[in-house]
Structure 1
Amino acid sequence: MTTVLRQAAALEAVLRHIRPAVRRERPYHVGGLPDVAVKLNQNESPYDLPDDLKRAVLEAFMEIPFNRYPTEQPDRLRHALARRLEHDPDGLLLSNGSNELTYTLGLALVEAGTPVVLPRPLFSLYETMVRLFGGKVVGVPPRPDLHFDADALVAAVERHRPALTVLASPNNPTGLAMPLADIERLAAAAEGFVVVDEAYVEFNDEPSARHLLDTYPNVLVMRTFSKAFGLAGLRVGYLMGHPAVVAELLKARLPFMVDRLAETVALALLERPELVTARVAELKASRQALTQALQAIEGVEVLPSQANFVLFRTPLEPRPLMARLAGKGVLVRDMSGYPELPGYLRVNAGTPAENKAFLGALKEALHPT
């Protein structure tokens, strides 16, 4: 046997020790081009922090000893959030982005055969998490208009009695929100936990599920600083729940998950609520302008959105359309990998100049001269 064959055999022998559930998955990856002019494919805020705020944050960060661990939870940020949210600080769990919380929930709640109810379509990480922990995905299709089928979700919860049900409202990838009354129906029907991912809550006209926390100890609300706060690059998320529930989740969470720079920046933004409010208003106006402009293009279908993005489809298939847009320096996201979203793409609200560039590129791609 040659050296190459021996090495290949040795590699395969060791890879067999990786759990089959892991080997069956694909890594989460967002394709794109480096240094693209108009990047509208990841639901990011198009606005960086103002220079004066960055300088103030860096000056404050200079006073922090780098050789010392942060606290298990970032206590200054936790208490500042508790005051802002009027929620018990012991009922807050902060994390390295809300994605880390998803895996914490898996560690705490999902084992082999555990049923987990998920509406479809939903951010793919949730289904991946359930499979990795050996759980059973109970998928619930949407209504024909892609809104949540609340009756079907309640029926699934009553039938399967899941340890965990996950909603995203507004939903990624559709941008549609579930009315609070329907979320409450689900919470009342569920024996297990109902997690409401509110990553886009600041853009939503529906009331937040946090209003259910005092009545339903099985409700957990997740949020992030990545979207409205514009901190996607620093990774800060948090979960709100009953203090007794959070105390148990802490046992499954890795320590020291929020670094001191992220905490410092998040604290600075909490002290500038007017900045966040102004940017949310700008992005809601941007989303509305995008929606109206897309609706005015012949052959384009648009889904109404309560998030910072818009879902749409055109007579052209997503791949060739994306290639044409990329050729004009514009990135959007192909959503047609979701079985419920054939032909759909997603574009997040950008600056007026970015929106203009996208719309111009789209019109040219659909009707080339």
Structure 2
Amino acid sequence: MNIQRLIRPTIKALKPYSSARDEFQGVPADMVFLDANENPFENGVNRYPDPHQNRLKSILSDIKGIPTQNMLLGNGSDEVLDLIFRMFCEPNKDNVIILPPTYGMYEVLANLNAIETIKVPLSESFQPKVDAILNETNVNSKLLFLCSPNNPTGNSFSTDDVERLLKQFQGIVVIDEAYIDFSSQQSWLNRLEEFPNLIVTQTLSKAYGMAGIRLGICYASTEIIEVLNTIKPPYNVNELTQQKAIENLNKKELAANQIADILKERDILITELKTISFVLKIYPSDANFFLIQVDDANKRYNQLINQGIVIRNRTTQPGCKDCLRITVGTASENKKLIRVLQDIQSK
């Protein structure tokens, strides 16, 4: 696939901003910096951060097995996704494909960038309808968003379906793997070199427990990453975020243990929920949350709110009538949820 034909002409012609740290890097510790109009008094954050996050990328490279030149870091996955829109989609001309029910920011970002959104709902089993997707595309279809494991349904998409879309969709396929660390399926990172039109996005907000620092990751071909680097803000990932990410990523056993605990608690929660009479269905999950169908989502949601428990009411989403999304909490939080549901059931 010719990726260059998909990139907006104005983006291809763009001359990137060159920051002070772009122009001068890799210097001795005693170098005097008088180039960036910074406050010279040292406090740990008085200097601009590394605009390319080299140390952090090196750690991620070791963890994920992907070269640093194949990754871009952003201020949360939302910034990464917005940059992808800006790179490929011409305002008021191009369109993107989304598969509801799915992550709501895809449509929000499309609207912000004046891009048409074509919606092709998932099947009843929450899988992509490949033929319908391909039939809806046209010459202006630049991006296809696949959230796998999917939010809010929790399931992973069929490998065969995703592979077919990667081969036949004539644009960029963005696979959002925010929840991949909880899944038994392999990440599509393992096949990044096979598909030049593949972009994989991940995050440190979920399995790594760093939602508060806002760090999203984009993995793609060097051809795509090089262009994204020209359009990202020069210092888009701040120093404190980089420091905290490096600190926590070095605690490899902690993340692995927490993932194992969450998966164990998910299974316990699902088992307990099967005893609640107004829980009509529990959907399979590859994430740290799961979707349930109840008799009356609005009623049950409000009952839980009144008892100090906040979950997500997804009843307005396509294919999710009377569905609630429950995030797996700590053992004590999950026990409280079950206890409250049992009290509601007994009344």
Specify the TM-score bucket, using the shorter chain as the normaliser: 0.7 to 0.9
Other-structure match for 1:139: 119
Is the 8 Å Cα contact of residues 291 and 302 (structure 1) preserved in structure 2? yes
- Which stretch has the larger CA shift, 289-298 or 340-349? 289-298
- Deviations 1:242-262, CA, capped at 9 Å, x for gaps: 111111112222221211121
- Which stretch has the larger CA shift, 339-348 or 291-300? 291-300
Other-structure match for 2:224: 245
Other-structure match for 1:267: 246
Is the 8 Å Cα contact of residues 165 and 195 (structure 1) preserved in structure 2? yes
Cα distance, 1:92 vs structure 2 = 0.6
Other-structure match for 2:177: 198
Other-structure match for 1:314: 294
Cα distance, 1:106 vs structure 2 = 1.6
Q: Given residue 102 of structure 2, which amino acid in structure 1 is its aligned partner?
A: L
Cα distance, 1:64 vs structure 2 = 6.5
> Following the alignment from structure 1 to structure 2, what is the Cα–Cα distance between the partners of residues 366 and 212?
47
Cα distance, 1:205 vs structure 2 = 1.0
> Following the alignment from structure 2 to structure 1, what is the Cα–Cα distance between the partners of residues 150 and 57?
26
Match of 1:220 among 190, 199, 209: 199
Other-structure match for 1:34: none
Cα distance, 1:206 vs structure 2 = 1.2
> Following the alignment from structure 1 to structure 2, what is the Cα–Cα distance between the partners of residues 277 and 314?
32
Highest RCO, 1 vs 2 (Cα 8 Å, sep ≥ 6) = 1
> Following the alignment from structure 2 to structure 1, what is the Cα–Cα distance between the partners of residues 116 and 289?
30
> Following the alignment from structure 1 to structure 2, what is the Cα–Cα distance between the partners of residues 305 and 155?
29
Is the 8 Å Cα contact of residues 180 and 208 (structure 1) preserved in structure 2? no
Asked whether 1:69 is paired with 2:48, we answer yes
- Which stretch has the larger CA shift, 277-286 or 359-368? 359-368
**Cα pair distance change 1:324/1:286, threshold 3 Å:** same
Other-structure match for 1:305: 285
**Cα pair distance change 1:147/1:190, threshold 3 Å:** closer
Other-structure match for 1:288: 267
Other-structure match for 2:23: none
- Deviations 1:177-228, CA, capped at 9 Å, x for gaps: 0133322211111221100000000011111111221111110100000000
> Following the alignment from structure 2 to structure 1, what is the Cα–Cα distance between the partners of residues 229 and 88?
13
- Which stretch has the larger CA shift, 336-345 or 187-196? 336-345
Other-structure match for 2:190: 211
Cα distance, 1:339 vs structure 2 = 2.8
> Following the alignment from structure 1 to structure 2, what is the Cα–Cα distance between the partners of residues 240 and 197?
10
Match of 2:215 among 218, 225, 236: 236
Cα distance, 1:344 vs structure 2 = 0.8
> Following the alignment from structure 1 to structure 2, what is the Cα–Cα distance between the partners of residues 276 and 353?
19
Cα distance, 1:160 vs structure 2 = 5.7
Is the 8 Å Cα contact of residues 154 and 284 (structure 2) preserved in structure 1? yes
Structure 1 counterpart SS, 2:163? helix
Cα distance, 1:161 vs structure 2 = 5.9
Match of 1:186 among 165, 169, 177: 165
Q: Given residue 308 of structure 1, which amino acid in structure 2 is its aligned partner?
A: N
Cα distance, 1:150 vs structure 2 = 3.5
Other-structure match for 2:332: 353
Other-structure match for 1:118: 98
Other-structure match for 1:165: 144
- Deviations 1:124-143, CA, capped at 9 Å, x for gaps: 11011112212121111111
For normalisation by structure 1, the TM-score amounts to 0.79
What stretches of structure 1 move > 6 A for 4+ residues in a row?
A: none
Q: Which runs of 5+ in 2 are unaligned?
A: 1-41
Cα distance, 1:303 vs structure 2 = 0.7
Cα distance, 1:342 vs structure 2 = 1.4
Asked whether 1:323 is paired with 2:291, we answer no
Q: Given residue 66 of structure 1, which amino acid in structure 2 is its aligned partner?
A: V
Is the 8 Å Cα contact of residues 313 and 345 (structure 1) preserved in structure 2? yes
Other-structure match for 1:91: 70
> Following the alignment from structure 1 to structure 2, what is the Cα–Cα distance between the partners of residues 181 and 145?
15
Structure 2 counterpart SS, 1:325? helix
**Number of aligned pairs?**
304
Identity percentage of aligned residues? 30
- Deviations 1:70-121, CA, capped at 9 Å, x for gaps: 1222111012112222212111100111111111112112221312111111
Q: Given residue 259 of structure 1, which amino acid in structure 2 is its aligned partner?
A: N
Q: Given residue 172 of structure 1, which amino acid in structure 2 is its aligned partner?
A: N
Cα distance, 1:340 vs structure 2 = 2.2
> Following the alignment from structure 1 to structure 2, what is the Cα–Cα distance between the partners of residues 334 and 356?
20
Is the 8 Å Cα contact of residues 205 and 306 (structure 1) preserved in structure 2? yes
> Following the alignment from structure 1 to structure 2, what is the Cα–Cα distance between the partners of residues 149 and 286?
32
- Which stretch has the larger CA shift, 216-225 or 356-365? 356-365
RMSD: 1.7
